[in-house]
Amino acid sequence: MPTKRSESTAAYMELYRSGELRKRVERAKGMLVSCRVCARGCDVNRLAGQVGKCHASSQVVVSSYGPHFGEEAPLVGWGGSGTIFFTHCNLRCVFCQNYTISQQGEGYVVDEEELAAMMLSLQARDCHNINLVSPSHMVPHILTALELAVAKGLSLPLVYNTGGYDSVESLRLLDGVVDIYMPDMKYSDEALAQRFSGIKDYPSVNRMAVKEMHRQVGDLQIDEQGIATRGLLVRHLVLPYALAGTEGVVRFLAQEVSPHTYLNIMAQYHPAHRAFAFPQLARPVLKQEFLQAINLACQHGLERLDRLRSPSAVGLR
C-alpha cells in the first residue's frame, strides 16, 4: 500500500506565477454582472444579489467537504478525493438523489477565504485532488479562492465534477486551471432532457462542453500508482428503459472525442425526489439494462470503463 501521495504539478501553478490567474479571476467576476457563468445565460446581476435558474447569487454556499472514497478508482487512491460539494445546480433533474442540496439550497454560506481554507485542509489530509462538485455556477468564486489558496501552498490537481451543462466561455477561463474534467453525459434526446432536467438543449450544449474539455486536457492520464493526474473522465448514468440514450453517448465519445475516453457507466439509479411522478422513472435500473449499456460502449470501441464489475456486484438483479 503506498504511503505517500503522488507528486504532481497542478496545471494552475504556471498561470499563478505568470499573473494570468489574476486576470482570469477578474474576467470571471465580470461575468456575474449579467450572468453567463453557465450555459443557462440568465443575464441576472448576481453581484447585486439577483438569482437565476441555478438559485445562486453572489454568495458561495457549500453543503459539505472532506475526503471521499466513493468516487472513481483513479481519483480515490488511498487518500481519497478531496470533495467540496457546492449547493445549488443549473439543472432541475426530477430524479436527483441530492435534491435537498441541488434544488432546496441545503448548505451554509462561506466566503472565498473560507473556500480556500477548505482546499488547503483537504491537501493537509493527504487527499489526491480537490474535487469541485457542481461547480458550473461557481466558476468566479472558485477562481478567486484558488488564487488565495495557491498563495498559501495549494498544489493539488483540480477536478471539475459537473452535471455537464457548462458554458464554453467559462470553460475557456479554466483552460490551464483544471487538471481533470469529470462531466456527466445525461441524455442524447432533447425532449427527454427537457422533461426530466428542464433543459431542452442539454445534449448539444453538453457535447460542445465535453469536446472543449477534451481539447484542454486530453485523455485521462493515470500514474504508476494508479492515480489520475490529468485528462477527461466521463460519467453516464443508466436510466430505465434506455432513457439516457447510451448508444448516442458512446458513439459520440468514440467518434468525436476519443476511443480512449475513460468512461464510468453508472448503475446506481433509483427513484428519488419527484421520479415517482414519471412512470418511466419509477423503478431501479435492471441488470439487463446495465449490461446493454456496457455492451454498447464495447461495441463502439470504448474499453476504458471504470470498475467494470458483475451486475450483482453493483446491486442489480
pLDDT tens digits, 143-175: 999 999 999 999 999 999 999 999 999 999 999
> 87 in helix, strand or coil?
coil
Q: Is the pLDDT of residue 113 over 50?
A: yes
- pLDDT at residue 4, as a whole number: 52
* Per-residue cell: 258: 476519443
Residue with more model confidence, 13 or 307: 13
Q: Which pLDDT does position 308 carry in this prediction?
A: 60
- Amino acid in the structure at residue 92: R
Mean pLDDT of 8-25: 92
Query: Are the CB atoms for 179 and 129 separated by under 8 Å?
Result: yes
171-189 pLDDT, tens digit per residue, is 999 999 999 999 999 999 9
Domains of the chain, earliest start first: 12-314 (3.20.20.70)
Report yes or no on whether pTM surpasses 0.85: yes
Q: Who contacts 90 (Cβ-Cβ below 8 Å, separation ≥6)?
A: 38, 39, 40, 53, 54, 136, 137, 163, 165
Number of residues that make up the chain = 317
Q: Can you tell me the distance from the alpha carbon of 71 to that of 307, in angstroms, rounded to the nearest whole number?
A: 11
CA-to-CA dists, residue 131 to 43, 45, 78, 85, 248, angstroms: 28, 28, 15, 8, 28
Q: Do 263 and 42 form a contact (C-beta atoms < 8 A)?
A: no
3-state secondary structure of 83: strand
> Among residues 81, 80, 101, 82, which one has the least CA distance to residue 91?
101
Buried b (16+ CB within 10 A) or exposed e, 81-109: bbbbbbbbbbbbbbbbbbbebbbeebbee
* Phi, psi dihedrals of residue 8, rounded to the nearest 5°: -150, 150
Tell me the helices (H) and strands (E) count for the chain, helix number first.
11, 9
Alpha-carbon gap, residue 315 to 268, rounded angstroms: 8
Whether residue 234 is predicted with pLDDT greater than 70 in this model: the reply is yes
Neighbours of 285 (CB within 10 A): 23
**Does an H or E element contain 101, and which?**
helix 99-102
